[in-house]
């Protein structure tokens, strides 16, 4: 066996590994969900028909296959409950991402301009909350926001309000929770691009007559766009499907698609409709994912 072959084989295996992972943990489960989304609900175990039984021969399998239909997807379009959920998810995700950008950019910018040794400390401070369970942190917020919680106590003591304010079960509380939870995902990619930026570019801009403000908008900001894109998509995509934060902090009058999914699965026990909603959500998320991939590729090429 030639030396080239010995090295070629593990290399080829390594290249296959991510695809294998995708097939095993994404495509196969997605196939199941897709199949359920084309089935009908039934009071049975499992709660849908048809069930493919490979032991009953080809004819039975073909008959089961014929029962599959797009009825559930039709329902998604007809009942505005789903469309409203999708829209709310999009609105919440876009709004949250914009707020995250407005808060995260100055923080990342400030971090990148700190002296080197303080940058490491600032980085730690951004990451430290991850050491506590996400759920516990959200429950802590409930504690702070509740009727006799810390926030209302402070506001009352400082005489900013005369009666306790209702914070919990409002959109404000939900946005607060989302922004709080996703801020590190916005800051880190922004910090990564901003800290790499060549300081002499800003000096050059100043030298050529740009005020510090112009230098920021003409040089720093355009050069940080890959970081803005990465941070925005890293936040936007999971926020669209967010379930826990709106469920715990927002009111129950309008639902995000994650909550609707949960209701269909566990309260209504309508697996096929829930699966259809999940498939539709995935299709909704694919365009931003492709966009993210493109952006990353362009950044890689730019850094060549």
Partner 1 sequence: MPLLRIEGVAKSFGNFRAVDKLSLDIRAGEFFALLGPSGCGKTTLLRMLAGFETPDEGRILLGGNDIAQVLPHERPVNMMFQNYALFPHLSVRDNIAFGLKRAGMARKDIATRVAEMVALVKLEGLEKRKPDQLSGGQRQRVALARSLARRPQVLLLDEPLAALDKKLREGTQGELMELQRRLGMTFIIVTHDQEEAMTMAGRIGVMDAGRLVQVATPRNLYEAPASRWIAEFVGDINLFSGQVTARDRGRLTVTTTEAGTLAVSELWPPVTKEAVSVAIRPEKVKLSRRAPATDAGASQAINRLEGAVIDVNYLGGITSYRVKLESGAVVRSSMANTARLDVDAYLAGQRVVAWFTADDCLVLEQ
For partner 1, the binding residues (CB under 8 A) are 198, 200-201, 203-211, 214, 218-219, 222-223, 302, 304
Give the residue with the Cβ less far from partner 1, 206 or 288.
206
Cβ of residue 115: shortest distance to partner 1, in angstroms? Answer: 13
CB 100 within 8 A of CB 235: yes
Q: Is 90 exposed, middle or buried (0-12, 13-18, 19+ CB in 10 A)?
A: middle
By C-alpha distance, which of 250, 249, 262, 259 is closest to 137? 249
Give the residue with the Cβ less far from partner 1, 18 or 209.
209
Cβ of residue 118: shortest distance to partner 1, in angstroms? Answer: 17
DSSP 56: G
Give the residue with the Cβ less far from partner 1, 39 or 220.
220
Cβ of residue 205: shortest distance to partner 1, in angstroms? Answer: 7
Give the residue with the Cβ less far from partner 1, 153 or 211.
211
CB 60 within 8 A of CB 210: no
Q: How far is CA 282 from CA 56, 238, 279, 294, 297, in A?
A: 33, 11, 5, 18, 22
Give the residue with the Cβ less far from partner 1, 16 or 225.
225
Cβ of residue 196: shortest distance to partner 1, in angstroms? Answer: 11
d(CA 293, CA 273): 30
Cβ of residue 153: shortest distance to partner 1, in angstroms? Answer: 47
How many other C-beta atoms can be found within 10 angstroms of the C-beta atom of residue 275? 23
């Amino acid at each position: 066996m030639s030396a080239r072959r010995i090295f070629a084989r593990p290399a080829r295996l390594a290249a296959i590994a991510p695809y294998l992972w995708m097939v095993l943990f994404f495509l196969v489960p997605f196939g199941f969900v897709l199949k359920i989304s084309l089935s009908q609900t039934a009071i049975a175990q499992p709660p849908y028909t048809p069930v493919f039984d490979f032991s009953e021969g080809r004819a039975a399998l073909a008959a089961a296959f014929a029962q599959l239909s797009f009825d559930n997807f039709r329902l998604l379009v007809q009942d505005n409950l789903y469309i409203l959920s999708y829209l709310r998810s999009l609105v919440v995700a876009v709004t949250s991402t914009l707020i995250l950008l407005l808060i995260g950019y100055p923080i990342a910018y400030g971090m990148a301009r700190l002296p080197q040794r303080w940058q490491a400390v600032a980085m730690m401070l951004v990451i430290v909350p991850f050491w506590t369970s996400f759920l516990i942190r959200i429950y802590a917020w409930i504690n702070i926001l509740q009727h006799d919680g810390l926030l209302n106590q402070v506001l009352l003591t400082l005489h900013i309000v005369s009666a306790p304010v209702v914070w919990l079960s409002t959109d404000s509380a939900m946005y607060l929770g989302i922004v709080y939870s996703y801020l590190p995902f916005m800051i880190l990619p922004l910090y990564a691009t901003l800290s790499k930026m060549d300081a002499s570019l800003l000096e050059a801009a100043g030298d050529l007559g740009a005020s510090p403000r112009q230098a920021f908008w003409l040089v720093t900001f355009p050069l940080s766009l890959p970081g803005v894109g990465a941070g925005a998509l890293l936040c936007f995509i999971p926020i669209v499907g967010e379930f826990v934060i709106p469920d715990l902090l927002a009111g129950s009058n309008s639902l995000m698609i994650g909550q609707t999914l949960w209701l269909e699965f566990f309260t209504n026990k309508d697996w096929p409709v829930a699966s259809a909603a999940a498939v539709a959500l995935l299709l909704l998320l694919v365009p931003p994912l492709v966009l993210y991939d493109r952006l990353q590729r362009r950044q890689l090429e730019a850094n060549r």
